[in-house]
């Protein structure tokens, strides 16, 4: 039978198509915003950091309130905040005002996440992982479409703000579409989930993950977000000013990047279904990211940057964060909600701090920003290896306990 909530899911995914655009709108319109706010690239980068700050501030509390008041109100609150961001940015005349609207976009992201992820899991309880990973696909689709929209605006020689208005228009139409769509009763589902509670197997109870594991996963949440967030914000500028690509070609690098990201979503889903270890993929993808970043820094040619855009999109933005979160949640089976909050809060901290760091580095050179990302990726690979080692030790311990009990 057809799932009653499928039409609802369509609307929820469309919100993330717009979110994918919203993440990059200021970056791809940086030169126009510099003139409007009478600042430089560093100033715009500071405003971009406000998105991560806004998301970090309300992430925990919005999830708690969503459990109490339901999913739909927070989804609509997120959509309303995004509309404020779209119209606020194009009307603001100073960095201070723009920072406030950027903060609103960060809040919008948190509100959407706190309503959408639970709503999808409640709508599709038998395929919750697939339902949630498709969010990443729609984010990538939005990031893929935006450079073409901006290119069309440039070719038509019209006001840059139309790219913001188009995103806002899609959000408004989707809000109207979702008004009468059904949502699962989260209270009824919570009662079903809470009774009875299944007892966790003794091997997992006895093999306690240490504070060191929590620290490693938290740091990996930060690093995995920082690696691809930095690239998404500076890839076009790197192609234009370091590799010498024309502006029209440089902004299309982000479309190549999102094709790589989208490809990885489906490849990873297929590999996990074939029982390939998530830890193995985590280490592999992190290593590929490091190799790709090092290669493009050593050989910044137009062709190398285009290949790099696809590879880094695949390895760093195609679901490696979701893999890290899954491994962390499985390591703490009695605290999956807390694990999710900790992991994504670390990622949100990255979206706030990385633009501030790169704003300083941009005053030296754009190339130095990508070399900085090489260092981040190297730390990420070292962490991935350590996480892999810890997971292997845990597996051996569980197997040993099972043999003794048998």
Q: What does the pLDDT read at residue 397?
A: 58
Of 274, 227, 229, the C-alpha closest to 384 is 227
Report CA 92 to chain centroid distance, whole Å. Answer: 26
Q: What does the pLDDT read at residue 108?
A: 93
Same domain assignment for residues 217 and 180? no
Q: Residue 248: which CATH number?
A: 1.20.1250.20
Is 189's pLDDT higher than 80? Answer: no
Same domain assignment for residues 241 and 309? yes
Neighbours of 337 (CB within 10 A): 13
Spatial separation of the C-alpha atoms in residues 28 and 313, rounded to whole Å: 17
N- to C-terminal Cα separation, the chain: 43
Spatial separation of the C-alpha atoms in residues 70 and 115, rounded to whole Å: 8
Domain boundary (153, 178, 193) is at 193
**Residue 290 CB partners (closer than 8 Å, separation 6+):** 374, 377, 378, 380, 381
Same domain assignment for residues 186 and 207? no
* 139 vs 176, higher pLDDT: 176
Tokens of 260: 């790589």
Q: For 57-75, what is the mean pLDDT?
A: 81
Q: For 90-115, what is the mean pLDDT?
A: 91
Same domain assignment for residues 93 and 60? yes
For the chain, give the percent of residues with pLDDT over 70: 86
Domain boundary (193, 216, 250) is at 193
Same domain assignment for residues 145 and 266? no
Q: Helices in 211-301 by DSSP H: which ranges?
A: 211-241, 247-251, 253-273, 278-298
Same domain assignment for residues 228 and 364? yes
**Residue 376 CB partners (closer than 8 Å, separation 6+):** 223, 226, 227, 230
Same domain assignment for residues 188 and 313? no
pLDDT confidence bin for 335, thresholds 50/70/90: low
Same domain assignment for residues 239 and 346? yes
Is 203's pLDDT higher than 60? Answer: no
pLDDT confidence bin for 187, thresholds 50/70/90: low
Give just the sign of the alpha carbon dihedral 7, 8, 9, 12.
positive
Q: For 105-124, what is the mean pLDDT?
A: 84
Q: Are 13 and 73 in contact (CB under 8 A)?
A: no
Spatial separation of the C-alpha atoms in residues 129 and 121, rounded to whole Å: 8
Same domain assignment for residues 234 and 251? yes
Is 126's pLDDT higher than 80? Answer: no
Q: What is the pLDDT of residues 235-288, one digit of tens each?
A: 999 999 999 999 889 988 988 998 898 898 888 877 877 777 888 999 999 999
Q: Are 390 and 216 in contact (CB under 8 A)?
A: yes
Same domain assignment for residues 173 and 272? no
Of 270, 235, 13, the C-alpha closest to 137 is 13
pTM, 2 dp: 0.71
Q: What does the pLDDT read at residue 334?
A: 56
Give just the sign of the alpha carbon dihedral 156, 160, 161, 164.
positive
Spatial separation of the C-alpha atoms in residues 52 and 50, rounded to whole Å: 5
Q: Are 40 and 95 in contact (CB under 8 A)?
A: no
Domain holding 269, by residue range, is 200-406
Q: What is the pLDDT of residues 361-404, one digit of tens each?
A: 998 999 999 999 999 999 999 999 999 998 888 776 556 555 65
Same domain assignment for residues 127 and 257? no
Same domain assignment for residues 358 and 229? yes
Spatial separation of the C-alpha atoms in residues 24 and 17, rounded to whole Å: 12
Q: For 39-56, what is the mean pLDDT?
A: 85
Q: For 33-37, what is the mean pLDDT?
A: 92
Query: Most confidently modeled of 46-50, 64-68, 305-309?
Result: 305-309
Helix axes of 41-69 and 72-91: crossing angle, nearest 10 degrees: 160
Q: For 155-161, what is the mean pLDDT?
A: 91
Q: Are 51 and 354 in contact (CB under 8 A)?
A: no
**Residue 146 CB partners (closer than 8 Å, separation 6+):** 20, 21, 24, 25, 28, 163, 254
Is 199's pLDDT higher than 60? Answer: no
Judged on CB neighbours under 10 Å (0-12, 13-18, 19+), 219 is middle
Q: For 156-163, what is the mean pLDDT?
A: 91
Spatial separation of the C-alpha atoms in residues 16 and 136, rounded to whole Å: 8
Q: What does the pLDDT read at residue 186?
A: 64
Spatial separation of the C-alpha atoms in residues 107 and 114, rounded to whole Å: 11
Q: What is the number of domains present in the chain? A: 2
Spatial separation of the C-alpha atoms in residues 177 and 210, rounded to whole Å: 47
For the chain, what is the mean pLDDT? 84
Domain boundary (193, 225, 241) is at 193
């Amino acid at each position: 039978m057809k799932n009653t909530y499928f039409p609802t899911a369509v609307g929820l995914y469309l919100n993330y198509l717009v979110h994918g655009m919203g993440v990059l709108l200021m970056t791809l319109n940086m030169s126009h915003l510099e003139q409007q706010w009478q600042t430089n690239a560093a100033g715009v980068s500071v405003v971009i950091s406000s998105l991560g700050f806004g998301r970090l501030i309300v992430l925990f509390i919005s999830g708690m309130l969503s459990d109490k008041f339901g999913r739909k109100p927070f989804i609509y609150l997120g959509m309303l905040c995004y509309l404020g961001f779209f119209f606020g940015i194009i009307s603001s005349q100073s960095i201070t005002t723009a920072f406030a609207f950027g903060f609103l976009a960060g809040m919008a992201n948190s509100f959407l996440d706190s309503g959408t992820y639970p709503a999808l899991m409640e709508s599709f309880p038998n395929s919750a992982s697939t339902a949630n990973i498709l969010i990443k696909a729609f984010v990538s689709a939005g990031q893929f479409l935006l450079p073409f929209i901006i290119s069309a605006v440039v070719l038509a020689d019209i006001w840059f703000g139309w790219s913001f208005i188009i995103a806002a228009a899609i959000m408004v139409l989707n809000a109207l579409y979702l008004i009468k769509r059904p949502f699962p009763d989260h209270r009824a589902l919570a009662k079903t989930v809470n009774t009875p509670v299944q007892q966790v197997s003794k091997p997992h109870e006895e093999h306690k993950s240490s504070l060191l594991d929590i620290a490693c996963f938290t740091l990996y949440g930060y690093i995995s977000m920082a690696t691809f967030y930095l690239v998404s914000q500076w890839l076009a500028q790197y192609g234009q000013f370091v590799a010498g690509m024309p502006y029209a070609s440089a902004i299309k690098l982000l479309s190549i990047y999102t094709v790589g990201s989208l490809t990885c979503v489906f490849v990873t889903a297929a590999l996990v279904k074939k029982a390939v270890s998530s830890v193995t993929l985590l280490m592999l993808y992190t290593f590929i990211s490091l190799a790709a970043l090092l290669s493009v820094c050593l050989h910044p040619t137009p062709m190398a940057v285009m290949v790099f855009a696809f590879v880094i999109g695949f390895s760093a933005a195609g679901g490696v964060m979701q893999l890290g979160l899954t491994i962390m949640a499985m390591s703490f089976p009695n605290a999956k909600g807390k694990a999710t909050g900790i992991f994504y809060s670390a990622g949100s901290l990255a979206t706030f701090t990385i633009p501030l760091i790169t704003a300083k580095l941009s005053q030296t050179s754009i190339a130095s920003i990508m070399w900085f990302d090489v260092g981040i990726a190297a730390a990420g690979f070292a962490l991935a290896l350590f996480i892999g080692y810890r997971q292997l030790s845990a597996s051996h311990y569980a197997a040993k306990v099972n043999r003794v009990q048998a």
